[in-house]
Amino acid sequence: MTGMTTACVAYANVFLHPLLDDGTSPASRGERREQQMLRTQAEKMCAGCPLMAKCLTDAIVKFDVAGFVAGTTKRQRQEIRARLGITVAPEDFDTFAGVNSGRQFDRYEIHRMRAANPDQPLSVIAAKVGCSVSTVKRHLRRIEAEGGVPRPIEKKSPTPAQIVAVAEDVRRGTRRVAAA
């Protein structure tokens, strides 16, 4: 795959165009036409992309990303998820910055470090994360109180082929609405 540039990278001017963002509504007839043109262009490029099925599957089942991805707008992906009965787990915003490293720690990371090495003093975890021992204790207590680390939500996962088929259907629906 070395050296392969996907269309969304090569034509970022199309893919990242504000008119392809769901937050933007066309202000005029001209803009609406332009939006339609951009969407058609981007759809074609994604349709010809070797990563299409994987890209779409990830965008549907893994992350709720913004913008135009894998031939779909964010709104279309919401509809695809609704039809497939998929919910994307919300991000765990309960993170805090480690003051030493400047990186964000997921609070479950503390739990993982503890589980991986139960004899290690909490002060070692605190030093790694860059927080106080009492913060480490607080997070561990809270996770225990919640019944431990939640397992990743395993839901029925549709195959990439199913997702591609539903996406095609949703796109057809969108085109019908746009043409009406």
What is the contact surface with ligand SF4 in residues (CB under 6 A)? 6-8, 45-46, 49, 51-52, 55, 69-70
77: left (phi over 0), alpha (psi -120 to 50) or beta: alpha
- As measured in angstroms, the least distance from the Cβ of 43 to ligand SF4 is 9
- In the bound state with ligand SF4, the residue whose beta carbon lies nearer, of 68 and 105, is 68
CB 7 to ligand SF4: min, Å: 4
The 8 Å CB, 24+ separation contacts for 167-172 are 167/56, 167/60, 167/70, 167/71, 167/72, 167/76, 167/80, 169/83, 170/72, 170/76, 170/79, 170/80, 170/83, 171/43, 171/71, 171/72, 171/76
Q: Which is nearer to ligand SF4, 52 or 163 (CB)?
A: 52
CB of 160 to ligand SF4, least distance (A): 12
Pick 5 or 28: Cβ nearer ligand SF4: 5
Rounded CA-CA distance 111/22 in Å is: 38
* HSE (side-chain half, CA atoms, 13 Å) at 53: 7
- By C-beta, is 70 or 113 nearer to ligand SF4? 70
**Min. distance of Cβ 98 from ligand SF4 in angstroms?**
33
Tokens of 161: 């082929």
Closest to ligand SF4 by CB, 49 vs 84, is 49
The CB-of-69 to ligand SF4 minimum distance in angstroms stands at: 5
Q: State how far the Cα of 165 lies from the Cα of 83, in Å rounded to an integer.
A: 11
Give the residue among 70, 23, 62 at the shortest CA–CA distance from 46.
Answer: 70
The minimum distance between CB 34 and ligand SF4, in angstroms, equals: 20
